[in-house]
Amino acid sequence: MPSFINELMLKELTSVASNATSLILVDHSRLKSEDTIKLRTALRKAGAKLKVSKVRLLRRAIPASAAKLIEKSKGSVGVIFASDMVAAAKVVADLAKEDKVTVRGGLMDGATLDVATIKRISELPSKQQLLGMLVNVLQAPIAGFARVIAAIHTQQGGSAPAVEDTPVAVEAAPAVAGDAAPAV
Note the pLDDT tens digit of each residue in 72-109.
777 788 888 888 888 889 989 888 888 888 888 888 88
Query: Can you tell me the mean pLDDT for 132-148?
Result: 90
Regarding pTM above 0.85, the answer is no
Residue-wise pLDDT tens digits, 3-58: 888 888 888 887 777 777 788 888 888 888 898 888 899 989 988 888 888 888 88
Query: Can you tell me the mean pLDDT for 112-136?
Result: 88
The alpha carbon of 115 is separated from its chain's Cα centroid by a whole number of angstroms, namely 19
Q: What is the pLDDT of residue 134?
A: 92
b/e 144-174 (16+ beta carbons within 10 angstroms → b)? eeeeeeeeeeeeeeeeeeeeeeeeeeeeeee
b/e 99-126 (16+ beta carbons within 10 angstroms → b)? ebbbbbbbbbeeebbebeebbebbeeee
Q: What is the CATH number of domain 4-124?
A: 3.30.70.1730
Q: What is the pLDDT of residue 164?
A: 53
More confident residue, 168 or 109: 109
